Amino acid sequence: MAKKAARAAKRSATPARPAARKSTPARKAAPRKAAAPARKSAARAASSGKADKYVYSWGAGKADGNGSMKPLLGGKGANLAEMARIGLPVPAGFTISTEVCTYYYANKRTYPAALDAQIRTGIAKIEKVMGVKFGDARKFPLLVAVRSGARDSMPGMMDTILNLGLNDETVIALERATNNPRFAWDCYRRFIQMYGDVVLGVQKRAGEDHEPFETVLEHYKHETYGNGELEDNKLTADDLKNIIARFKALVKERTGKAFPTDPWKQLEGAVSAVFGSWMNDRAIVYRRKYNIPAEWGTAVNVQAMVFGNTGEESGSGVAFTRDPATGEKVFYGEFLLNAQGEDVVAGVRTPEPVAQLAAEMPKAYKELERIRKVLESHFKDMQDFEFTIQDGTVYMLQTRNGKRTGVAAVRIATEMVKERLIDWKTAVMRVPADQLDQVLAPIFDRVAVKKAEVIARGLPAGPGAASGEVYFNADRAVEAAAKGKKVLLVRVETSPEDLRGMIAAEGILTARGGVSSHAALVARQMGKVCVCGAAALQVDYHKRTLTVNGVTYKEGDWLSIDGTAGEVYAGHIETGASEVIQGLVENDAESKKGRTFKNFVQLMKWCGEATRMSVRTNADTPEQVRNALAFGAVGIGLTRTEHMFFEGDRIDAMREMILADTLAAREEALAKLLPYQREDFFGIFKELKGYPATIRFLDPPLHEFLPNTDDQQKDLARKLGISVEKIKQRVHDLHEFNPMLGFRGCRLGISYPEITAMQARAVFEAAADANKKGYKAHPEIMIPLVGFKKELDLQVEIVHEVARKVQAERKTTIKYSVGTMIEVPRGAVTADEIAQTAEFFSFGTNDLTQTTLGMSRDDSGSFLPHYEETEIVKKNPFATIDQSGVGALMRIAVEKGRQARPGIKPGIRGEHGGEPDSVKFCDALGLDYVSCSPFRVPVARLAAAQAALAAAKK
């Protein structure tokens, strides 16, 4: 397989990253400022003529830079300096700062005058530390790697160039110095290929399927060995010499020039290629998508080479200080013997788990274990690092905070507190709120899984359990999922083209690939259940079959995977609630002993300590209330009373009410509904244990309750003893052109006060019943869709009157309040008037978004996706609050509301109440609480806690 393709796959896994980014807006905003001084100092250098520092060296335990200098040195450079400082074995090198990149683009792609000399000094320092000379044609020559490095690793940037400094003379010197011809010529072959590709642009042309260098290589292998797929490490020195000659000819043919031989010229070309790549299309597209300012620029790292391709005592690898899928504190990663650079992720050969090094190279393994500990105790976070072993000696080439699943994030954060590596506040900040629901993901039913047969094992790459029909191709998987099937996407390996299928699938299963494979990366970032590298699977795309141990499964057959354990099962296995849900909601004793459960509970406890806002829930039934309270909700933010009208034959009474011609007939029908509502409210008050319940009165347009089809209408006519014509007439009368803006919300109660009166009576009678039984009821009655103070006045009057009556009848007092939902712009801008009557208000941001944007959510599907693509809207405003539009109205309403009624406690409910960015925005607005669906409560609590901690830091 072409390495290039694998690299591309690795890269394009990254767009799944916004999840991680989204949750750390601070990170995005803060460094942006730092770009300004960078520009200034570059300009200063140009004008004053005084040489600024552009090159930052490290080596032999010292460094000019350090880990906090990411804006200036890029992420890779800053951490290389930091690792050198703390005495880790990092090959010497230097970083050319991001200021140079800024200068380069501000000055027509030229460099500051002082740069050249500083680079030469930088090389001289490397030479001194390493004891070798750049371009030395007699002794072991200094070879360097030229590596790009933005603040955050950024796909789309230039690929790394290794072994720079080789030419026809230095390669001989290298061969002689090492007495290892295969090694020397292998380096040279790699160098020409990489440099030819990324610097000289010898790449695939339009219409070509393969990289030209790969094509030459494959042809040679085919001609010589009759096998185009032969592994690279089987090639002899003579083979490599022949291939190099062909490579050079290819370069000459494509570029019209000979391959550059002067190491300094090579270096110049490579540095320019890195800076040039900052403005290539791929990089620009990526930056635009993730809001990375172009001013940041990239740094360039030039570093002495160490060699993983000298033989069987060498190799290269990538590793994590803990398991990034489960969070377990184990050394995790993979390693490829006798390999260089990205061979390990390119899929040319199958890497082995690092643990195996314990047996193969015990000394090197011990050193890696030591490094692993040093990294964590120094960086205080799980690290994702790259290393090379040259003849048994370990060298560190990169480290950064590792990406992890939501499950791993929770485990790592809580365990690191126990290990005293971090404090609890840091732990709360470390778990991305939008990934927390991964710990709530289903697991296999304990009993069912015991009976199931494990047919293969692979790497546990995405925690959770999934069961589905297998599909071997992304398109067919998408199709099947669209038909409502549960799908498992099974591939030999995945690539970016499979992304759609991966999203549609319940889980992903691959036969090949390790921790750094595309499937593993995507699963980690999307929170998909995934098992990868299950080597026993033989997938035949052509026949659309999968064979394991002699048993063949066809497309559409059921398999199940456990992404926490890395196991593949035959057939369908029932999935059940996660340990956390079983423990909290179902009060299951066994689950409460589990690690995930304990970690989760601990995290939520910390959230409770940190938070300013409280979290309520949207709930219409006692069961939902119970679930939400188990997750830590402190009341109901929204009960939608209309949901109560749809159950059983209640709908008939409702319809009778709608069809009634006279007040008396309507009241008669409403009287039938009253006991149902009262019972429902009682159930909710009972479950709430004294927490408040905001109850919204009837909101949807009445036609939603009437039947539409002929049959249903006939049926209803028979039941109610009226004519079908009458029903048809009423449906016709109630028909609206824009129901969203029509006869709904408080407009119903204004026209039919008896509906409001009945609902109020149901609430108060239920409250009286509850109080009598010792469940303290605390209803907050909410009148929807208010735009005029008078609307609210009229409704509130009815409520108070009913309250008086019920309290007198029952000889009791009920603690209640009446307020409104701010969900139309007029309500927001006149919140001061409305708050004179309203004792509380909360934002209904679904409707407020619809009415502010003049955009119907239900109809937005036809144009909104395009709006997101073209970035007219940055995010779907129905998922994340449109802060500058809708948010501005909210701010006005909060201010005006507090003016009129100082103690008013505004909240928010609806989809936005459980979405982390919106929750953080609400905290900034000073809202008192957010309300969301029961299963989003933990996410909202975490986001609220993070917002409070971030605000306290400022």
Binding site for Mg ion (CB under 5 A): 386, 398, 823, 844, 847
DSSP per position, 617-671: EE-SSHHHHHHHHHTT--SEEEEEGGGGGSSTTHHHHHHHHHH--SHHHHHHHHH
CA angle 304, 307, 309 (to 5 degrees): 155
CB of 944 to ligand ADP, least distance (A): 36
Binder of residue 305, out of Mg ion, ligand ADP, none (CB less than 5 to 8 A by kind)? ligand ADP
Query: Do residues 716 and 661 make contact, with C-beta atoms less than 8 angstroms apart?
Result: no
Q: Does 162 participate in binding ligand ADP (rule CB under 6 A)?
A: yes
CB of 432 to ligand ADP, least distance (A): 22
* Residue in 848, 928, 946, 856 with CA at minimum distance from that of residue 888: 848
The two structure tokens encoding residue 297: 């620029």
Q: Tell me the sheet residues that pair with 443.
A: 576
Three-class SS of 370-404: HHHHHHHHHHCCCEEEEEEEECCEEEEEEEEECCC
CB of 314 to ligand ADP, least distance (A): 11
Nearer to ligand ADP, 145 or 925 (CB): 145
Q: Which of 59, 65, 67, 91 binds ligand ADP (CB under 6 A)?
A: 91
Q: Does 341 participate in binding ligand ADP (rule CB under 6 A)?
A: yes
Nearer to ligand ADP, 316 or 617 (CB): 316
Touching ligand ADP, residues 272-331 (CB under 6 A)? 303, 305-306, 316
Q: Which of 118, 298, 398, 617 binds ligand ADP (CB under 6 A)?
A: 398
CB of 569 to Mg ion, least distance (A): 36
Residue nearest to Mg ion (CB): 847
Nearer to ligand ADP, 91 or 402 (CB): 91
CB of 134 to ligand ADP, least distance (A): 14
The helix/strand/coil state of 561 is strand
Query: Do residues 222 and 228 make contact, with C-beta atoms less than 8 angstroms apart?
Result: yes
Length of the chain: 954
Q: Does 156 participate in binding ligand ADP (rule CB under 6 A)?
A: no
Touching ligand ADP, residues 129-148 (CB under 6 A)? 145, 147
Q: With DSSP H G I counted as helix, E B as strand and the rest as coil, what are the percentages for the chain, rounded to 5?
A: 50, 15, 30
* Residue in 938, 950, 951 with CA at minimum distance from that of residue 608: 938
Binder of residue 388, out of ligand ADP, Mg ion, none (CB less than 5 to 8 A by kind)? ligand ADP
Binder of residue 844, out of Mg ion, ligand ADP, none (CB less than 5 to 8 A by kind)? Mg ion
Q: Does 523 participate in binding ligand ADP (rule CB under 6 A)?
A: no
CA-CA distances (angstroms) from residue 5 to 10, 259, 359, 491, 803?
9, 24, 32, 16, 71
Nearer to ligand ADP, 385 or 685 (CB): 385
Residue nearest to ligand ADP (CB): 147
Nearer to Mg ion, 642 or 833 (CB): 642
Touching ligand ADP, residues 565-624 (CB under 6 A)? none
Nearer to Mg ion, 317 or 632 (CB): 317
CB of 398 to Mg ion, least distance (A): 4
Binder of residue 12, out of Mg ion, ligand ADP, none (CB less than 5 to 8 A by kind)? none
CB of 11 to ligand ADP, least distance (A): 8
Q: Which of 52, 211, 232, 342 binds ligand ADP (CB under 6 A)?
A: 342
Binder of residue 847, out of Mg ion, ligand ADP, none (CB less than 5 to 8 A by kind)? Mg ion
| Burial state string for 95-115 with b = 16 or more CB within 10 A and e = fewer than 16 | bbbbbbbbbbbeeeeebbebb
Nearer to ligand ADP, 382 or 603 (CB): 382
CB of 80 to ligand ADP, least distance (A): 9
Nearer to Mg ion, 398 or 771 (CB): 398
Binder of residue 160, out of Mg ion, ligand ADP, none (CB less than 5 to 8 A by kind)? ligand ADP
Q: With CB under 6 A, what is the number of residues at the site for ligand ADP?
A: 16
Q: Does 386 participate in binding ligand ADP (rule CB under 6 A)?
A: yes
Query: Do residues 750 and 791 make contact, with C-beta atoms less than 8 angstroms apart?
Result: yes
Touching ligand ADP, residues 220-259 (CB under 6 A)? none
CA distance 317 to 852: 53
CA distance 240 to 248: 12
* Residue in 96, 751, 205 with CA at minimum distance from that of residue 215: 205
CA distance 515 to 498: 18
DSSP per position, 766-827: HHHHHHHTT----EEEEE-S--SHHHHHHHHHHHHHHHHHHHHHHT-----EEEEEE-SHHH
Binder of residue 100, out of ligand ADP, Mg ion, none (CB less than 5 to 8 A by kind)? none
Q: Does 495 participate in binding ligand ADP (rule CB under 6 A)?
A: no
CA-CA distances (angstroms) from residue 883 to 603, 829, 895, 911, 918?
29, 16, 16, 15, 8
Nearer to Mg ion, 112 or 317 (CB): 317
490 CB-side CA count, 13 A: 34
Q: Does 449 participate in binding ligand ADP (rule CB under 6 A)?
A: no
Nearer to ligand ADP, 395 or 816 (CB): 395
CB of 554 to ligand ADP, least distance (A): 39
Nearer to ligand ADP, 334 or 567 (CB): 334
CB of 274 to ligand ADP, least distance (A): 10
* Residue in 819, 823, 824 with CA at minimum distance from that of residue 837: 819
Nearer to ligand ADP, 342 or 915 (CB): 342
Query: Do residues 642 and 702 make contact, with C-beta atoms less than 8 angstroms apart?
Result: no
Binder of residue 917, out of Mg ion, ligand ADP, none (CB less than 5 to 8 A by kind)? none
Beta pairing, strands 144-149 & 636-640: unpaired
Q: Does 402 participate in binding ligand ADP (rule CB under 6 A)?
A: no
Q: Which of 24, 66, 153, 393 binds ligand ADP (CB under 6 A)?
A: 153
For helices 845-853 and 886-900, angle between their N-to-C axes, nearest 10 degrees: 120
| Burial state string for 896-927 with b = 16 or more CB within 10 A and e = fewer than 16 | bbbeebeebbbbbbbbbbbbbbbbbbbbebeb
Nearer to ligand ADP, 305 or 947 (CB): 305
Beta pairing, strands 636-640 & 614-618: parallel
CB of 135 to ligand ADP, least distance (A): 17
Query: Could you identify the residue written with the tokens 């061969």?
Result: 175
Binder of residue 316, out of Mg ion, ligand ADP, none (CB less than 5 to 8 A by kind)? ligand ADP
CB of 369 to ligand ADP, least distance (A): 20
Rg of the chain (C-alpha set): 33
CB of 284 to ligand ADP, least distance (A): 18
The residues binding ligand ADP (CB under 6 A) are 91, 145, 147, 153, 160, 162, 303, 305-306, 316, 341-342, 386, 388, 397-398
